[in-house]
């Protein structure tokens, strides 16, 4: 799985601020082994980041091995689509 760091501080909708834009508002990925699937894998990624001293903050995104992207929120995860779809949409925006 991959971890994408949000470039901007994001308070997860608590301040009525717009969500970060994928992939524009994210730093280069960090990779780690995926343990489990779905929510189990997301929670594992969260724990592994904190154990390694690289805190996962609201706004950071986890890309699971199946290509799904999930943004870390204050108390949950938001599914933000598929990695392939996000890349295609980004390519189309650049072409304009």
The pLDDT value given to residue 5: 94
Q: What is the pLDDT of residues 12-23, one digit of tens each?
A: 767 778 889 888
3-state secondary structure labels for all residues of 4-44:
EEECCCCCCCCCCCCCCCCCCCEEEEEECCCCCCHHHHHHH
Domain ranges of the chain: 2-95
Q: Residue ranges of the chain with pLDDT lower than 70? A: 13, 84-96
Q: Look at the pTM and tell me if it is higher than 0.85.
A: no
The pLDDT value given to residue 17: 80
């Amino acid at each position: 799985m991959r971890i994408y760091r949000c470039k901007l501080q994001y308070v997860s909708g608590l301040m009525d601020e717009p969500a970060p834009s994928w992939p524009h508002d994210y730093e280069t990925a960090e990779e780690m082994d995926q343990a489990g699937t779905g929510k189990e894998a997301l929670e594992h990624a969260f724990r592994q980041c904190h154990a390694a001293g690289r805190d996962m903050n609201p706004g950071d995104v986890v890309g699971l091995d199946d290509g799904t992207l999930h943004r870390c929120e204050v108390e949950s995860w938001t599914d933000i689509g598929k990695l392939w779809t996000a890349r295609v949409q980004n390519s189309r925006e650049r072409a304009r």
